[in-house]
Structure 1
Amino acid sequence: MTEHDEVRDLLAAWAFGALEPAEEKTVRRHLAECETCGTEAEHLKETVRLLDGRTAPHPPTPSTHPHPEDTLPASLRSAALGTRRPATSQVAAHATPYAAAVAGLRALLPEAEAHWSTPVVHDWDVHATLAHLLAADEPLAALLGIEARVPLSPTHETTATTPAQPWQDAWNRRTADVIAHEYGRTPEETVADWSAQADALLATDEARDPERAARAVELMGMRLPVADQFLVRAFETWIHTDDIGRALGLTVPPPPEAHLWQLIRLAVRVLGLALGPAAPPVLLAVDGGDRWVLGSDAEPVRAELALDPVDFCLLVGGRYAPGAVPRGSSGDEDAVRNVLERAASLSWL
């Protein structure tokens, strides 16, 4: 990773004054030399100022991403964007988006009081969505030596993942078990266990040490470095925070730009692997960022596809149907459709 990439990933935390002294020094030195990062840093500082002083919630619409100053309920004011690092541990850049997403969901949950049975997504209400997140964080927590908050069912303990019983089946059984278990408890107890597990994840050595987080592990059907598994957890936590916000009639802002691009770069890598080297090549442009050629590198690009950053993440997160996501495209429509359909198929959220 270049210094430019490293600083870009730190800018949101810098805007909140949440960096360690050595990181602060690196960022300030780079900002003095890089106009692009300097402009983004000033935008983030202004966003923080606005978030600390003005809120006006509006009902969300699927294809718009309002400015943060217009979207947050009062309970999200100082925790909005969630870029302050948790007091219990100073996490590394790869875990900061997860810490931010956890902080954002914690800030939203007071708005759910007396609304726990509000339908959210799939057949889940707010309570079940929190239980789902408790289950979803569990594989990474177990890998890092954190004991499950919900006892394993006999079926889960005795059924191994095999080609005939893929990880999706085991995952669906476990999340159903956890939701059923949590329905026997109060929503506040579910929140407490989810929150404690999240804190435990952020207190691990792997959340603080990039070298320890560099080892590759397979979770949820994806073999990725532990650092990227933290980004997966950030992605899902944000998606479900947005789900809950929509259900409650509140607009949740997207992750800070620096965090959003960490998620986008990971999603593009995973999408490229899913498409494979034989897919018709498509030039993907995510507005305001890089451009990637996905698919075969042995033939000319057949099409170009342009997506908004948040729309791209919502597509990968399963919140847009392939044909419904706002986009710009040219060239071979079949090649474009292949990319969109494969991106939407990545989600299990």
Structure 2
Amino acid sequence: MTTDHEAVRELLGAWAVGALMPGDERTVTPHLADCDRCAAEAGRLRATVRDLGGPPLADPGPGPAPAERGLALALRTRPAASRTAAHAAPYAAAVAGLQALLGELAEREAWGTPVVHDWDVHDTVAHLLAADEPLAVRLGLRAPSAWDGADGTPWRVAWAARTEEVLARERVRSPAETIESWRNQATALLSSPEAHDPELAGRATMLMGARLPLADHFLVRAFEAWVHTDDIGRALDMPVPPPRTAHLWQMVRLAVRILELAMGSKAPDVALTVSGEGGEVSWILGSGAEPVSAELVLDPVDFCLLMGGRVDPAVVPRGISGSEAAAGRVLTRAASLAWL
């Protein structure tokens, strides 16, 4: 009987030169994201193709250093989340990306490396475990806790307290146990009916201070998982690629809607354009009734990192015409919305 390993290994030569049939690609790509042995062999074959001057690959560019090859390969071949509806696919991809990164860390014993705030790698995963919890509670996947401020406590205060509670609990467990708990909860979210049925995901609910459709809350989870994966990668000098283009633009559009609400209708009108790989989209922030006082252009990745509090609004790469002050207010307000 042919095993998954044997079936995939027979296809690795075609994969290395970018010649897989679509049906075979759906078999090979998810397997490489989960199987270190086949991923290592695939990396060696692709490196050989490059060395021999073989045909250009679908993802050209310099090959990663040997120590990085497994991460780069796993991240490039992470599953496309075809088993979920479109609104949950970015979260599925972000979960796969973080799993790929954590798989590389297992050999480096780097769990205590400082990452962001006062968290190390272990704490950052514990934070994501806590951050995914509200959506899991709302979907009935776990018992409610007192974190959500139902007693009138401001949500940021209640959320900070719950985060510290989860961090304290997870610090006495091993990183492997924390990762398993995070992965199990993420799997449950992605297995929920709401991750597969757009109609169910259209129901609005209040989480993390925002009343949004459940579909958008899945997108918020994707955003946070990617940002913290990037945090860990930066801390360990292991570059993490941005989300797939389609997923990135889903995040951009949600971020703009949140920024629009935050800016309100009394702010001077500013034309915001997000332009980069995958397209260009423009919005008018403000009342829409006044002449535009400034035009602001941002790259989609920079815009998302700004909204995530990872880029200083004073130095984020941007194009501005018109009122510097009006454009600056938009940048400052975007950065102030971060809770990550």
TM-score by length of 2: 0.79
The 2-side partners of 1:78 and 1:345 are apart by 33
**What corresponds to 1:120 in structure 2?**
115
**Cα–Cα, structure 1 residues 139 and 48, in superposed 2: closer, same or farther, change >3 Å?**
farther
Q: Using the TM superposition, give the Cα deviation of residue 346 of structure 1 relative to its aligned residue in structure 2, in angstroms.
A: 1.2
> For residue 64 of structure 2, what is the amino acid of its counterpart?
A
The 2-side partners of 1:178 and 1:94 are apart by 28
Total equivalences in the alignment: 287
**What corresponds to 1:273 in structure 2?**
261
Superposed, which structure 2 residues align to 1:129-208 within 5 Å?
A: 129-147=124-142, 156=146, 160-162=150-152, 165-208=153-196
Please say which of residues 226-235 and 279-288 is displaced more in the overlay. Answer: 279-288
CA contact (8 A) 1:55 1:77 kept: no
Q: Does 1:336 align with 2:327?
A: yes
Q: Using the TM superposition, give the Cα deviation of residue 50 of structure 1 relative to its aligned residue in structure 2, in angstroms.
A: 2.9
> For residue 339 of structure 1, what is the amino acid of its counterpart?
V
Q: Does 1:103 align with 2:96?
A: yes
Structure possessing the higher radius of gyration over alpha carbons:
2
Q: Using the TM superposition, give the Cα deviation of residue 341 of structure 1 relative to its aligned residue in structure 2, in angstroms.
A: 0.9
Q: Using the TM superposition, give the Cα deviation of residue 233 of structure 1 relative to its aligned residue in structure 2, in angstroms.
A: 0.2
CA contact (8 A) 1:81 1:256 kept: no
CA contact (8 A) 1:318 1:347 kept: yes
**Cα–Cα, structure 1 residues 275 and 231, in superposed 2: closer, same or farther, change >3 Å?**
same
**What corresponds to 1:85 in structure 2?**
81
Q: Using the TM superposition, give the Cα deviation of residue 17 of structure 1 relative to its aligned residue in structure 2, in angstroms.
A: 5.3
Which of 286, 289, 292 matches 2:280? 289
CA contact (8 A) 1:206 1:226 kept: yes
**What corresponds to 1:50 in structure 2?**
59
**What corresponds to 2:296 in structure 1?**
305
**Cα–Cα, structure 1 residues 160 and 214, in superposed 2: closer, same or farther, change >3 Å?**
closer
Deviations 1:201-223 (A, max 9, x none): 00000000000000111100011
**What corresponds to 1:38 in structure 2?**
none
CA contact (8 A) 1:81 1:100 kept: no
The 2-side partners of 1:279 and 1:115 are apart by 46
TM-score by length of 1: 0.77
Deviations 1:153-197 (A, max 9, x none): xxx4796442xx210000000011001100010000000000000
Report the secondary structure of 1:289's partner residue.
strand
**What corresponds to 1:37 in structure 2?**
none
The 1-side partners of 2:234 and 2:133 are apart by 25
Q: Using the TM superposition, give the Cα deviation of residue 110 of structure 1 relative to its aligned residue in structure 2, in angstroms.
A: 2.0
**Cα–Cα, structure 1 residues 173 and 83, in superposed 2: closer, same or farther, change >3 Å?**
same
% identical equivalent positions: 57
> For residue 282 of structure 2, what is the amino acid of its counterpart?
R
The 2-side partners of 1:74 and 1:144 are apart by 35
- Root-mean-square deviation over aligned CA pairs: 2.6
> For residue 56 of structure 1, what is the amino acid of its counterpart?
P
The 1-side partners of 2:80 and 2:148 are apart by 41
Which of 309, 315, 323 matches 2:306? 315
The 2-side partners of 1:298 and 1:220 are apart by 31
CA contact (8 A) 2:271 2:294 kept: yes
Q: Larger RCO: Structure 1 or Structure 2 (Cα < 8 Å, ≥ 6 residues apart)? A: 1
Which of 224, 238, 247 matches 2:212? 224
Structure 2: which 5+ residue stretches go unaligned? 1-21, 28-54
**Cα–Cα, structure 1 residues 185 and 79, in superposed 2: closer, same or farther, change >3 Å?**
same
The 1-side partners of 2:68 and 2:287 are apart by 43
> For residue 50 of structure 1, what is the amino acid of its counterpart?
D
The 2-side partners of 1:15 and 1:223 are apart by 40
Q: Using the TM superposition, give the Cα deviation of residue 297 of structure 1 relative to its aligned residue in structure 2, in angstroms.
A: 1.1
> For residue 129 of structure 1, what is the amino acid of its counterpart?
T
The 2-side partners of 1:267 and 1:256 are apart by 16
The 2-side partners of 1:194 and 1:318 are apart by 23
Report the secondary structure of 2:102's partner residue.
helix
> For residue 260 of structure 1, what is the amino acid of its counterpart?
L
